[in-house]
Amino acid sequence: MYDRQQILSELVQTASTKIVLLLMDGVGDVPGEKDKTPLQAARKPNLDRVARESDLGQTIPVMHGVTPGSGPGHLALFGYDPVKYQIGRGILEALGSDVDVGEKDVVARANFATIQNNIVLDRRAGRPSTEESSKVVEKLSKAIQSIEDVKVSFYAGKEHRFVVKLTGEDLDDRLSDADPQKEGKPFVYTQALAPEAERTARIVNKLLDEIKRVLSDEPKMNCALMRGFSKYPNLPQFPAVYKLKAAAIATYPMYRGIARLVGMEIVQTGDTIKEEFETVKRAWNDYDFFYVHVKKTDSYGEDGNFEAKVHVIEEVDEALPILLDLQPDVLIVTGDHSTPTALKAHSWHPVPLMIHSKYARKGLSKAFDEFECARGTLGTIYAVDVMGLALAHALRLEKFGA
């Protein structure tokens, strides 16, 4: 099998063109209320107008029928084979939270959760505020400094999320997730996926028990779920591969983390979609490529909140003229995966894709939604091929062969 990224890196040429990748996390859905998806139900005149002037299609993040995590979904859109580069969510959350990760460290993404009689009632502990969860992280930091001879560190994240870092000799990240992934299921411990990881698994499980003990008096945040155990991986760097100076504008640590891992520069931004788009405007002259992440489409999909997901899409549409006024040579609007509100989880469904440039085969599509994208000019493609299309539309690829 040929290496797509390697081929692109050999064809890339420098240019003055600019690319914007607007990623609405989990935007894809299935018909729900009134037999419409949130994209169909949303009032979005700007996105629909752009769709009429764009190539539309849909992406498969990993393989047909395979439900992707956010990490694989993002890596694919950045042009990295998500099967070749399998990365634990822990390192993404850690780097996005500015946690220093060294050779002796294993990091994990953690959620505060609510447990009763060993059954996980709420995987997100009622979505506490960042301020509330930070106080509980501080409580853990004071109570737990080590397990056996391994140093333990805790770092607050957004809302119910936090990072756990283990520092010690001969730690191994080949561990299963200590997370049942669904509510109403029993609390689970990690298991070693290789003999060399047995000791690390034992330490993590002792830590999970200690966390439950320390948090036993908390009404909601009374245990922790951990997943994405990882050491620091080495990936080809985005700026070197594509000859692009790349900026990442994201409000949540994990998404800043994956951008940092591939070599993008993190640009500080505000919490609202409008503030994110204004950040692109301020940084416009300093970068060639802008990755802009919108989180709440995914959050409300996981909550099963159809109307709230619609509202976020409308909020994106209302702010979109900020990006359009910059006249990017290429504007890509897509998601990293689908998160149907009916499932309250990521799914295997194809993801809507729109590529706007003056070289697009426009005129076929009438709106930006799952069904218009399914019949669009791009067809159904793998997400890993989106970066090649972005570079081509930006006139940043030389001809292949004689």
**266 has a pLDDT exceeding 70:** yes
Helix runs in 106-231, H state only: 130-143, 198-214
Strands (E) located in 196-328: 223-230, 246-249, 265-266, 289-294
What confidence tier does 335 reach under pLDDT thresholds 50, 70, 90? very high
Q: What is the pLDDT of residues 128-171, one digit of tens each?
A: 999 999 999 999 999 999 999 999 999 999 899 999 999 999 99
Report the CATH fold assignment for 4-85+235-393.
Alkaline Phosphatase, subunit A (3.40.720)
**209 has a pLDDT exceeding 80:** yes
Q: What is the pTM of this model?
A: 0.84
The answer to whether the beta carbons of residues 222 and 114 sit under 8 Å apart is yes
H/E element, 392: helix 386-393
**309 has a pLDDT exceeding 70:** yes
Report pLDDT for 1.
Answer: 66
**Which residues, at least 6 apart from 285, have a Cβ–Cβ distance to it below 8 Å?**
none
Q: Report the distance separating Cα 351 and Cα 28, nearest Å.
A: 5
Q: Determine the average pLDDT of the residues in 60-80.
A: 97
CATH of 92-230, one of 1.10.3470, 3.30.70, 3.40.710, 1.25.10: 3.30.70
Q: Report the distance separating Cα 5 and Cα 79, nearest Å.
A: 6
What confidence tier does 402 reach under pLDDT thresholds 50, 70, 90? confident
Q: Report the distance separating Cα 254 and Cα 242, nearest Å.
A: 23
Q: What is the pLDDT of residues 214-244, one digit of tens each?
A: 999 999 999 999 999 999 988 999 999 999 9
Write down the domain spans for the chain. Answer: 4-85+235-393, 92-230
